[in-house]
Homo-oligomer: A and B are copies of this chain.
Amino acid sequence: MTKFADETLTEIRRDLHRHPEEGWKEFRTTALVAEELDERGFDLALGSDAVTVEERLGVPAADEIAAARERAKREGAPEEYLDRIGDVTGLVAEKRYGDGPTIGVRVDMDALARSEASDDDHRPAREGFASTHPNEMHACGHDGHTAVGIGIARAFDAEGFDGTLKLFFQPAEEGGRGGKPMSETTHVDDVDALLALHLGLDEETGTVVGGYDRPLSNAKLDVTFEGEPAHAGGAPNEGRNALQAMTTAIQNLYAIPRHADGKTRINVGQVHADNAQNVICEEAQMRVEVRGEDADLNDYMMQKAERVVEHAAGMHDVAYETSLYGMTTTFENDGFVVETVMDAAETVEGVTQICGRSPFGGSEDASFLIRRVQENGGVASYIGIGASNPAGHHTAYFDIDEAALDIAVGVVEEAVRRLAVRL
Protein backbone atom coordinates (compact mmCIF):
# COMPACT_ATOMS: atom_id res chain seq x y z
CA MET A 1 0.00 0.00 0.00
CA THR A 2 1.23 3.48 -0.83
CA LYS A 3 2.05 5.94 1.89
CA PHE A 4 -0.70 8.32 0.83
CA ALA A 5 -3.27 5.60 0.10
CA ASP A 6 -5.61 6.39 2.96
CA GLU A 7 -4.71 10.03 3.43
CA THR A 8 -6.91 13.01 2.68
CA LEU A 9 -5.49 15.88 0.66
CA THR A 10 -5.18 17.81 3.93
CA GLU A 11 -3.15 14.99 5.46
CA ILE A 12 -0.96 14.77 2.37
CA ARG A 13 -0.42 18.53 2.36
CA ARG A 14 0.53 18.46 6.04
CA ASP A 15 2.95 15.61 5.51
CA LEU A 16 4.62 17.59 2.73
CA HIS A 17 4.54 20.73 4.83
CA ARG A 18 6.50 18.97 7.56
CA HIS A 19 9.10 17.82 5.01
CA PRO A 20 9.77 20.82 2.78
CA GLU A 21 12.37 20.39 0.04
CA GLU A 22 13.97 23.22 -1.89
CA GLY A 23 14.23 23.36 -5.68
CA TRP A 24 16.04 20.40 -7.34
CA LYS A 25 15.96 18.63 -3.99
CA GLU A 26 12.31 17.45 -4.06
CA PHE A 27 13.29 13.77 -3.81
CA ARG A 28 10.86 12.71 -1.11
CA THR A 29 8.03 14.66 -2.72
CA THR A 30 8.69 13.31 -6.20
CA ALA A 31 9.04 9.74 -4.95
CA LEU A 32 5.82 9.82 -2.94
CA VAL A 33 3.87 11.34 -5.81
CA ALA A 34 5.35 8.74 -8.17
CA GLU A 35 4.36 5.91 -5.85
CA GLU A 36 0.82 7.22 -5.62
CA LEU A 37 0.30 7.76 -9.36
CA ASP A 38 2.00 4.53 -10.33
CA GLU A 39 -0.52 2.75 -8.16
CA ARG A 40 -3.31 4.54 -10.04
CA GLY A 41 -2.04 3.39 -13.41
CA PHE A 42 -0.34 6.50 -14.73
CA ASP A 43 2.66 6.24 -17.03
CA LEU A 44 5.52 8.01 -15.30
CA ALA A 45 8.41 10.05 -16.67
CA LEU A 46 10.76 10.66 -13.77
CA GLY A 47 13.76 12.91 -13.20
CA SER A 48 15.84 13.18 -16.33
CA ASP A 49 12.87 11.90 -18.32
CA ALA A 50 10.72 14.72 -16.99
CA VAL A 51 13.04 17.66 -17.58
CA THR A 52 15.80 18.45 -20.07
CA VAL A 53 18.74 18.02 -17.75
CA GLU A 54 21.11 20.37 -19.49
CA GLU A 55 18.53 23.15 -19.49
CA ARG A 56 18.14 23.13 -15.73
CA LEU A 57 18.91 26.49 -14.09
CA GLY A 58 20.21 27.31 -10.62
CA VAL A 59 21.17 23.71 -9.86
CA PRO A 60 22.74 23.22 -6.40
CA ALA A 61 26.17 21.63 -6.02
CA ALA A 62 26.32 17.85 -6.44
CA ASP A 63 27.05 17.23 -2.77
CA GLU A 64 24.03 19.25 -1.73
CA ILE A 65 21.83 17.22 -4.06
CA ALA A 66 23.30 13.99 -2.77
CA ALA A 67 22.66 15.07 0.81
CA ALA A 68 19.08 15.98 -0.03
CA ARG A 69 18.57 12.56 -1.60
CA GLU A 70 19.97 10.84 1.48
CA ARG A 71 17.71 12.84 3.71
CA ALA A 72 14.70 11.93 1.58
CA LYS A 73 15.56 8.27 2.06
CA ARG A 74 15.83 8.73 5.83
CA GLU A 75 12.51 10.53 5.84
CA GLY A 76 10.58 7.76 4.16
CA ALA A 77 10.85 8.27 0.42
CA PRO A 78 10.05 4.91 -1.18
CA GLU A 79 13.39 3.57 -2.40
CA GLU A 80 12.08 2.03 -5.58
CA TYR A 81 11.05 5.41 -6.90
CA LEU A 82 14.08 7.16 -5.46
CA ASP A 83 16.17 4.83 -7.57
CA ARG A 84 14.18 5.60 -10.66
CA ILE A 85 14.42 9.35 -10.00
CA GLY A 86 18.19 9.33 -9.90
CA ASP A 87 19.69 12.75 -9.20
CA VAL A 88 17.05 14.83 -10.92
CA THR A 89 13.68 15.70 -9.43
CA GLY A 90 10.40 16.27 -11.24
CA LEU A 91 7.69 14.07 -12.67
CA VAL A 92 5.30 13.89 -15.62
CA ALA A 93 2.41 11.43 -15.26
CA GLU A 94 0.02 10.52 -18.08
CA LYS A 95 -3.14 8.43 -18.25
CA ARG A 96 -5.41 7.86 -21.20
CA TYR A 97 -9.10 7.64 -20.31
CA GLY A 98 -10.61 8.17 -23.76
CA ASP A 99 -10.02 9.32 -27.33
CA GLY A 100 -10.50 13.02 -26.68
CA PRO A 101 -7.92 15.74 -26.29
CA THR A 102 -4.92 15.74 -23.98
CA ILE A 103 -5.39 18.06 -21.06
CA GLY A 104 -2.35 19.00 -18.99
CA VAL A 105 -2.29 20.23 -15.43
CA ARG A 106 0.85 21.75 -13.98
CA VAL A 107 1.63 22.01 -10.25
CA ASP A 108 4.92 22.85 -8.55
CA MET A 109 6.50 21.09 -5.56
CA ASP A 110 9.44 23.05 -4.12
CA ALA A 111 9.82 24.88 -0.82
CA LEU A 112 11.68 28.07 0.09
CA ALA A 113 14.94 28.70 1.92
CA ARG A 114 13.46 30.33 4.97
CA SER A 115 12.61 29.25 8.50
CA GLU A 116 9.03 28.76 9.61
CA ALA A 117 7.48 30.52 12.59
CA SER A 118 7.39 28.22 15.59
CA ASP A 119 5.06 30.05 17.95
CA ASP A 120 1.41 29.30 18.66
CA ASP A 121 0.21 32.20 16.55
CA HIS A 122 1.14 30.03 13.60
CA ARG A 123 -1.34 27.20 13.00
CA PRO A 124 1.13 24.71 11.50
CA ALA A 125 3.27 25.14 14.64
CA ARG A 126 0.28 24.97 16.96
CA GLU A 127 -1.10 21.87 15.29
CA GLY A 128 2.22 20.15 14.91
CA PHE A 129 2.84 20.14 11.19
CA ALA A 130 5.36 22.95 10.86
CA SER A 131 8.56 22.33 8.97
CA THR A 132 10.99 19.97 10.63
CA HIS A 133 13.91 21.51 8.70
CA PRO A 134 15.50 24.75 9.77
CA ASN A 135 15.66 27.25 6.93
CA GLU A 136 13.26 25.34 4.71
CA MET A 137 9.55 26.06 4.57
CA HIS A 138 6.56 25.65 2.29
CA ALA A 139 5.84 29.38 2.42
CA CYS A 140 4.26 29.63 -1.00
CA GLY A 141 1.66 26.85 -0.95
CA HIS A 142 3.42 24.38 -3.24
CA ASP A 143 2.70 21.65 -0.65
CA GLY A 144 -0.95 22.32 -1.35
CA HIS A 145 -0.35 22.38 -5.10
CA THR A 146 1.23 18.95 -4.92
CA ALA A 147 -1.67 17.60 -2.88
CA VAL A 148 -4.09 19.09 -5.40
CA GLY A 149 -2.19 17.33 -8.18
CA ILE A 150 -2.78 14.01 -6.44
CA GLY A 151 -6.39 15.00 -5.86
CA ILE A 152 -6.90 15.58 -9.56
CA ALA A 153 -5.49 12.16 -10.36
CA ARG A 154 -7.90 10.62 -7.86
CA ALA A 155 -10.84 12.63 -9.24
CA PHE A 156 -10.89 10.70 -12.49
CA ASP A 157 -10.46 7.27 -10.85
CA ALA A 158 -14.16 6.54 -10.88
CA GLU A 159 -15.44 7.76 -14.22
CA GLY A 160 -12.50 9.09 -16.19
CA PHE A 161 -13.28 11.50 -19.03
CA ASP A 162 -13.07 11.43 -22.77
CA GLY A 163 -9.40 12.27 -23.17
CA THR A 164 -5.91 11.97 -21.75
CA LEU A 165 -4.81 13.54 -18.50
CA LYS A 166 -1.19 14.64 -18.21
CA LEU A 167 0.05 15.87 -14.84
CA PHE A 168 3.21 17.98 -14.66
CA PHE A 169 4.75 17.98 -11.17
CA GLN A 170 7.35 20.69 -11.75
CA PRO A 171 10.47 21.07 -9.59
CA ALA A 172 12.25 24.32 -8.70
CA GLU A 173 9.66 26.97 -9.45
CA GLU A 174 11.19 29.36 -6.94
CA GLY A 175 13.74 31.47 -8.77
CA GLY A 176 12.33 30.36 -12.13
CA ARG A 177 14.57 27.33 -12.49
CA GLY A 178 12.42 24.32 -13.36
CA GLY A 179 9.80 25.67 -15.76
CA LYS A 180 12.08 26.14 -18.72
CA PRO A 181 13.71 22.67 -18.63
CA MET A 182 10.31 21.01 -18.23
CA SER A 183 8.89 23.04 -21.13
CA GLU A 184 11.65 21.80 -23.39
CA THR A 185 10.65 18.15 -23.22
CA THR A 186 8.42 16.37 -25.69
CA HIS A 187 5.81 15.89 -22.96
CA VAL A 188 4.37 19.27 -23.85
CA ASP A 189 4.01 18.56 -27.56
CA ASP A 190 0.63 16.88 -27.57
CA VAL A 191 -1.06 18.95 -24.89
CA ASP A 192 -4.23 20.53 -26.27
CA ALA A 193 -5.01 22.57 -23.19
CA LEU A 194 -2.92 23.35 -20.13
CA LEU A 195 -4.15 24.43 -16.74
CA ALA A 196 -1.78 25.73 -14.08
CA LEU A 197 -2.96 26.90 -10.70
CA HIS A 198 -1.91 28.78 -7.62
CA LEU A 199 -3.46 28.76 -4.14
CA GLY A 200 -3.71 31.84 -1.98
CA LEU A 201 -2.45 35.03 -3.58
CA ASP A 202 -4.29 36.97 -0.91
CA GLU A 203 -7.74 35.87 -2.02
CA GLU A 204 -10.27 34.42 0.39
CA THR A 205 -11.27 30.78 0.28
CA GLY A 206 -14.17 30.49 -2.13
CA THR A 207 -12.78 32.90 -4.66
CA VAL A 208 -11.74 31.54 -8.03
CA VAL A 209 -9.87 33.61 -10.62
CA GLY A 210 -10.37 32.28 -14.11
CA GLY A 211 -6.90 33.32 -15.16
CA TYR A 212 -3.98 35.33 -13.88
CA ASP A 213 -1.60 36.49 -16.58
CA ARG A 214 0.86 39.11 -17.83
CA PRO A 215 3.43 38.44 -15.13
CA LEU A 216 6.71 40.41 -15.24
CA SER A 217 9.46 38.68 -17.13
CA ASN A 218 12.55 38.28 -15.04
CA ALA A 219 16.02 36.82 -15.10
CA LYS A 220 18.40 36.05 -12.29
CA LEU A 221 22.09 36.26 -12.94
CA ASP A 222 24.88 34.90 -10.74
CA VAL A 223 28.16 36.72 -11.19
CA THR A 224 31.59 35.81 -9.87
CA PHE A 225 34.53 38.18 -10.18
CA GLU A 226 37.96 36.56 -9.95
CA GLY A 227 40.92 38.81 -9.26
CA GLU A 228 44.32 38.36 -7.68
CA PRO A 229 44.99 38.61 -3.97
CA ALA A 230 47.77 40.74 -2.54
CA HIS A 231 48.73 42.04 0.87
CA ALA A 232 46.71 45.20 1.35
CA GLY A 233 49.44 46.78 3.42
CA GLY A 234 52.55 45.53 1.70
CA ALA A 235 51.63 45.46 -1.96
CA PRO A 236 48.18 46.85 -2.71
CA ASN A 237 49.22 47.55 -6.29
CA GLU A 238 49.87 43.87 -6.93
CA GLY A 239 46.27 42.89 -6.37
CA ARG A 240 43.49 42.85 -8.89
CA ASN A 241 40.55 43.72 -6.73
CA ALA A 242 37.43 41.66 -7.35
CA LEU A 243 35.51 43.68 -4.77
CA GLN A 244 36.21 46.99 -6.46
CA ALA A 245 34.96 45.45 -9.68
CA MET A 246 31.80 44.21 -8.00
CA THR A 247 31.20 47.51 -6.27
CA THR A 248 31.53 49.43 -9.52
CA ALA A 249 29.15 46.99 -11.14
CA ILE A 250 26.51 47.34 -8.44
CA GLN A 251 26.57 51.14 -8.52
CA ASN A 252 26.08 51.09 -12.25
CA LEU A 253 23.50 48.30 -12.27
CA TYR A 254 21.14 50.34 -10.13
CA ALA A 255 21.76 53.26 -12.50
CA ILE A 256 20.65 51.47 -15.68
CA PRO A 257 18.33 53.98 -17.36
CA ARG A 258 14.62 53.64 -16.89
CA HIS A 259 12.86 52.64 -20.13
CA ALA A 260 10.22 54.61 -21.97
CA ASP A 261 8.23 51.50 -22.91
CA GLY A 262 7.34 50.32 -19.44
CA LYS A 263 8.33 49.00 -16.07
CA THR A 264 11.83 47.69 -15.48
CA ARG A 265 13.47 46.53 -12.29
CA ILE A 266 16.97 45.78 -11.07
CA ASN A 267 18.22 44.40 -7.79
CA VAL A 268 21.29 42.84 -6.27
CA GLY A 269 20.22 40.60 -3.44
CA GLN A 270 23.34 38.79 -2.33
CA VAL A 271 26.99 39.68 -2.24
CA HIS A 272 29.85 37.68 -0.79
CA ALA A 273 33.56 38.20 -0.55
CA ASP A 274 35.50 36.41 2.13
CA ASN A 275 39.03 37.69 2.41
CA ALA A 276 40.80 38.73 5.55
CA GLN A 277 40.82 42.46 6.07
CA ASN A 278 44.44 42.69 5.02
CA VAL A 279 44.09 40.93 1.70
CA ILE A 280 43.07 42.59 -1.56
CA CYS A 281 39.88 40.77 -2.48
CA GLU A 282 40.44 37.80 -4.74
CA GLU A 283 36.91 36.64 -5.36
CA ALA A 284 33.54 38.32 -5.05
CA GLN A 285 30.11 36.99 -5.89
CA MET A 286 26.74 38.59 -6.40
CA ARG A 287 23.23 37.55 -7.30
CA VAL A 288 21.36 39.93 -9.55
CA GLU A 289 17.78 40.08 -10.72
CA VAL A 290 16.35 42.05 -13.60
CA ARG A 291 12.71 42.36 -14.60
CA GLY A 292 10.74 43.91 -17.38
CA GLU A 293 7.08 44.47 -18.05
CA ASP A 294 7.55 42.25 -21.07
CA ALA A 295 10.26 40.04 -22.50
CA ASP A 296 11.80 42.90 -24.52
CA LEU A 297 12.13 45.11 -21.48
CA ASN A 298 13.61 42.20 -19.57
CA ASP A 299 16.11 41.68 -22.39
CA TYR A 300 16.97 45.38 -22.33
CA MET A 301 17.80 45.15 -18.63
CA MET A 302 19.74 41.92 -19.08
CA GLN A 303 21.87 43.31 -21.89
CA LYS A 304 22.60 46.47 -19.95
CA ALA A 305 23.47 44.43 -16.87
CA GLU A 306 25.83 42.20 -18.80
CA ARG A 307 27.58 45.21 -20.29
CA VAL A 308 28.01 46.72 -16.84
CA VAL A 309 29.46 43.52 -15.44
CA GLU A 310 31.83 43.03 -18.35
CA HIS A 311 33.32 46.48 -18.07
CA ALA A 312 33.37 46.61 -14.28
CA ALA A 313 35.55 43.52 -14.49
CA GLY A 314 37.66 44.97 -17.26
CA MET A 315 38.16 48.21 -15.38
CA HIS A 316 39.74 46.34 -12.48
CA ASP A 317 41.48 43.77 -14.65
CA VAL A 318 39.64 40.85 -13.14
CA ALA A 319 38.01 37.88 -14.79
CA TYR A 320 34.33 37.16 -14.35
CA GLU A 321 31.80 34.46 -14.97
CA THR A 322 28.07 34.76 -15.20
CA SER A 323 25.47 32.06 -15.04
CA LEU A 324 21.74 32.23 -15.30
CA TYR A 325 20.24 31.26 -11.95
CA GLY A 326 16.69 31.33 -13.18
CA MET A 327 14.26 33.02 -15.50
CA THR A 328 10.61 33.50 -16.28
CA THR A 329 8.78 34.98 -19.20
CA THR A 330 5.38 36.52 -19.65
CA PHE A 331 2.22 35.05 -21.15
CA GLU A 332 -1.44 35.68 -21.81
CA ASN A 333 -4.26 33.29 -21.07
CA ASP A 334 -6.65 32.17 -23.75
CA GLY A 335 -10.04 33.76 -23.18
CA PHE A 336 -11.76 30.50 -24.07
CA VAL A 337 -10.01 28.65 -21.27
CA VAL A 338 -10.59 31.46 -18.76
CA GLU A 339 -14.30 31.32 -19.52
CA THR A 340 -14.39 27.55 -19.32
CA VAL A 341 -12.76 27.71 -15.88
CA MET A 342 -15.26 30.33 -14.77
CA ASP A 343 -18.13 28.20 -16.00
CA ALA A 344 -16.68 25.17 -14.25
CA ALA A 345 -16.28 27.08 -10.99
CA GLU A 346 -20.02 27.79 -10.95
CA THR A 347 -20.65 24.11 -10.30
CA VAL A 348 -18.12 23.57 -7.53
CA GLU A 349 -19.14 23.46 -3.91
CA GLY A 350 -17.60 26.12 -1.75
CA VAL A 351 -17.01 28.59 -4.57
CA THR A 352 -18.48 31.95 -3.59
CA GLN A 353 -16.89 34.42 -5.97
CA ILE A 354 -15.71 34.01 -9.55
CA CYS A 355 -13.40 36.57 -11.18
CA GLY A 356 -12.19 36.93 -14.75
CA ARG A 357 -8.76 37.61 -16.08
CA SER A 358 -6.44 39.57 -13.80
CA PRO A 359 -2.82 40.72 -14.02
CA PHE A 360 -0.34 38.63 -12.03
CA GLY A 361 1.92 40.93 -10.04
CA GLY A 362 4.90 38.63 -9.68
CA SER A 363 6.75 36.26 -11.96
CA GLU A 364 6.03 32.60 -12.82
CA ASP A 365 7.91 29.99 -14.77
CA ALA A 366 4.75 28.14 -15.67
CA SER A 367 5.02 30.83 -18.34
CA PHE A 368 7.39 28.61 -20.34
CA LEU A 369 5.00 25.67 -20.33
CA ILE A 370 2.04 27.87 -21.21
CA ARG A 371 3.84 29.56 -24.10
CA ARG A 372 5.08 26.24 -25.43
CA VAL A 373 1.58 24.82 -25.43
CA GLN A 374 0.27 27.93 -27.16
CA GLU A 375 3.04 27.84 -29.76
CA ASN A 376 1.97 24.29 -30.55
CA GLY A 377 -1.58 25.49 -31.14
CA GLY A 378 -2.92 24.61 -27.71
CA VAL A 379 -4.67 26.81 -25.19
CA ALA A 380 -3.99 27.59 -21.52
CA SER A 381 -4.88 29.48 -18.40
CA TYR A 382 -3.32 30.03 -15.00
CA ILE A 383 -6.05 29.63 -12.39
CA GLY A 384 -6.17 31.31 -8.97
CA ILE A 385 -7.80 29.49 -6.02
CA GLY A 386 -8.35 31.67 -2.93
CA ALA A 387 -7.11 30.08 0.31
CA SER A 388 -7.43 32.78 2.99
CA ASN A 389 -3.73 32.94 3.57
CA PRO A 390 -3.25 34.66 6.96
CA ALA A 391 0.15 36.14 6.08
CA GLY A 392 1.90 37.11 2.88
CA HIS A 393 3.55 34.59 0.59
CA HIS A 394 7.20 33.90 1.44
CA THR A 395 6.80 35.02 5.06
CA ALA A 396 7.30 32.93 8.20
CA TYR A 397 3.58 32.89 9.03
CA PHE A 398 2.26 31.89 5.62
CA ASP A 399 -0.40 29.20 5.70
CA ILE A 400 -3.37 28.14 3.59
CA ASP A 401 -6.90 27.20 4.41
CA GLU A 402 -7.04 23.54 3.47
CA ALA A 403 -10.68 23.84 2.45
CA ALA A 404 -9.23 25.32 -0.72
CA LEU A 405 -7.68 21.98 -1.70
CA ASP A 406 -10.97 20.32 -2.61
CA ILE A 407 -12.18 23.49 -4.28
CA ALA A 408 -9.07 23.48 -6.45
CA VAL A 409 -9.55 19.85 -7.37
CA GLY A 410 -13.19 20.45 -8.11
CA VAL A 411 -12.58 23.44 -10.36
CA VAL A 412 -9.84 21.73 -12.30
CA GLU A 413 -11.78 18.48 -12.66
CA GLU A 414 -14.80 20.33 -14.01
CA ALA A 415 -12.67 22.47 -16.29
CA VAL A 416 -10.93 19.39 -17.68
CA ARG A 417 -14.24 17.71 -18.41
CA ARG A 418 -15.58 20.79 -20.19
CA LEU A 419 -12.39 21.38 -22.14
CA ALA A 420 -12.43 17.78 -23.31
CA VAL A 421 -15.85 18.38 -24.72
CA ARG A 422 -15.36 21.86 -26.12
CA LEU A 423 -11.97 21.49 -27.76
Interface residues of A (CB under 8 A from B): 113, 175, 216, 218, 220, 232-239, 241, 243-244, 247-248, 250-252, 254-255, 257-261, 263-281, 284, 287-289, 291, 300, 307-308, 310-312, 314-317, 325, 361-363
A237 with B251: CB separation less than 8 A: no
- Selected from B237, B257, B267, B278, the residue in CB contact (under 8 A) with A289 is B278
Complex-state Cα separation, A247 to B308, whole angstroms? 14
Q: Report the separation of the CA atoms of residues A267 and B279 in the bound assembly, to the nearest whole angstrom.
A: 8
Evaluate contact between B275 and A269: CB separation under 8 angstroms. Answer: yes
- Measured CA separation A260–B252 after assembly (Å): 21
Q: Please measure, in the bound complex, the distance between the C-alpha atom of A128 and the C-alpha atom of B278, giving whole angstroms.
A: 31
Set of chain B residues within 8 Å of A300, measured between Cβ atoms: 237
Q: Which of B271, B311, B317 contacts A315 (CB 8 A)?
A: B311
List 7 additional A-B contacts (Cβ < 8 Å) besides A237-B260, A272-B273. A233-B291, A233-B361, A237-B259, A243-B268, A269-B279, A269-B281, A307-B314
CB pair B251 A268 closer than 8 Å: no
In angstroms, Cα B235 to Cα A291, docked, is 13
Contact yes or no, B277 A220, CB < 8 A? yes
Q: Which residues does chain B contribute within 8 Å of A236, judged by CB atoms?
A: 257-260, 265, 267
Q: Which residues of B contact A232 (CB under 8 A)?
A: 265-267, 269, 289, 291
Alpha-carbon separation in the docked complex, A363 to B312 (Å): 32
* Number of copies of chain A assembled together: 4
**What's the least CB distance linking A97 to chain B, in Å?**
40
- When A248-B252, A260-B237, A289-B232 are in contact, do A277 and B271 touch as well, CB less than 8 Å? no
List B contacts of A308 (CB < 8 A). 315
Which residues from chain B contact A279 at a C-beta distance below 8 Å? 267, 269
Tell me the bound Cα distance from A241 to B255 in angstroms.
11
Give the distance in Å from the alpha carbon of A163 to the alpha carbon of B268 in the complex.
62
Q: How far is the CA of A234 from the CA of B248 in the complex (A)?
A: 25
CA distance A241 to B263 in the complex (A): 20
Instruction: Give A403 to B280 CA distance when docked, in angstroms.
Output: 34
Are B278 and A269 in contact, with the CB atoms below 8 A?
A: yes
A391 CB to nearest B CB, Å: 14
Task: Choose among B264, B268, B316 the residue that contacts A258 (Cβ–Cβ < 8 A).
Answer: B264
Among residues of B, the one whose C-beta sits closest to the C-beta of A257 is B236
* A243 to B, closest residue via Cβ: B268
Q: State A241–B252 Cα separation when bound (angstroms).
A: 12
Report whether A235 and B250 are in contact in the complex, using a CB–CB cutoff of 8 Å: no
Separation of A309 and B291 alpha carbons in the complex (Å)? 28
Q: Is the CB of B257 within 8 A of A241?
A: yes
A270 touches B260 (CB 8 A): no
In the complex formed, the residue of B with least CB distance to A325 is B277
Min CB gap A285→B, angstroms:
10
Contact A255 B258 (CB under 8 A): no
- Give Cα A41 to B34, complex, Å: 74
Contact of A252 among B244, B276, B325 (CB under 8 A): B244
- Asked if B277 and A287 sit within 8 Å, CB to CB, the answer is yes
Residues of B within 8 A of A277 (CB): 175, 220, 267-270, 287-289, 325
Residues in B whose Cβ lies below 8 Å from that of A220:
277
Whether the pair B247, A250 counts as a contact (CB closer than 8 A) is yes
Q: Give the residues in chain B near A317, CB-CB below 8 Å.
A: 307
> Chain B contacts of A238 at CB under 8 A?
260
In the bound complex, residues from chain B placing their C-beta under 8 Å from that of A291 are 232-233
Kindly state the separation between the CA atoms of A270 and B271 in the bound complex, as whole angstroms: 10
Q: List 13 A-B contacts (CB under 8 A).
A: A113-B276, A236-B258, A236-B265, A237-B261, A247-B251, A248-B251, A248-B252, A268-B277, A269-B277, A270-B275, A277-B288, A307-B314, A310-B315
